[in-house]
Each structure stands twice: as structure tokens, then as C-alpha cells.
Amino acid sequence: MLETETKTFEDRLPELIKTDVGKFVLIKDDKVVGTYSAIQDALKDGYEKFKGQAFFVRQIVPVQQPLNFANNHLLS
């Protein structure tokens, strides 16, 4: 699930950085649906447009930082 959307995000990131850095992008399949100033707005639009289906929201930043966890029970 979301493989197409993840690839679309990676492919479109260079152009999104030029125009919408810091905003949140909403992607469904291979289409960029929109960009939003707040993540809540992107999620709300995704729920309204896709009615419970999976979609992809991610902040547009030049370097995608992974989440870090010190808890050694995670994925151990």
C-alpha cells in the first residue's frame, strides 16, 4: 500500500521544493492533489476526496529526516 504514492512523492519532490517548501503535499496514486500550509488541512481534504481510502501526506522539506527511536524494544 502507498508504494505508488511514495514513488510519486520522491519523483515530484525536486519541483515541489522550488514552489512549496515547508507545506504538506497530498498525493493519491500518481497525482499531486494539492499542497497545504497545515497537515490538518491536507488530511481533511484527503478524507473528503477519498472517503476512507489510503492516501499520502508528507511535509515538503529538502532533506527527509527519519524518525529516531532510542527504545531498544522497537523492531528488535
Partner 1 sequence: MPSFTQRIQNLQQIGPVVEILLTPSVPYMQSMGINIATIKDRVVKVLAMIDIGATGTVISKGITERINPVGTILINTPSHTDVSCYQFDAQIVFPNNVAIPSIVVTEAPLQGQHIQCLIGRDVLQHSVFIYTGYDNSFTLSF
Site residues (vs partner 1, CB under 8 A) = 1-2, 6, 39-40, 43-44, 46-48, 51-58, 64, 66-76
Question: Least Å distance between CB 14 and partner 1?
Answer: 18
Closer by beta carbon to partner 1, 13 or else 39:
39
Closer by beta carbon to partner 1, 18 or else 48:
48
Closer by beta carbon to partner 1, 62 or else 66:
66
Distances (CA, A) of 38 to 42, 44, 53, 58, 70: 7, 10, 20, 11, 28
22: which 3 cell numbers? 515547508
Question: Least Å distance between CB 24 and partner 1?
Answer: 10
Length of the chain: 76
- Residue among 9, 37, 8 at smallest CA distance from 23: 37
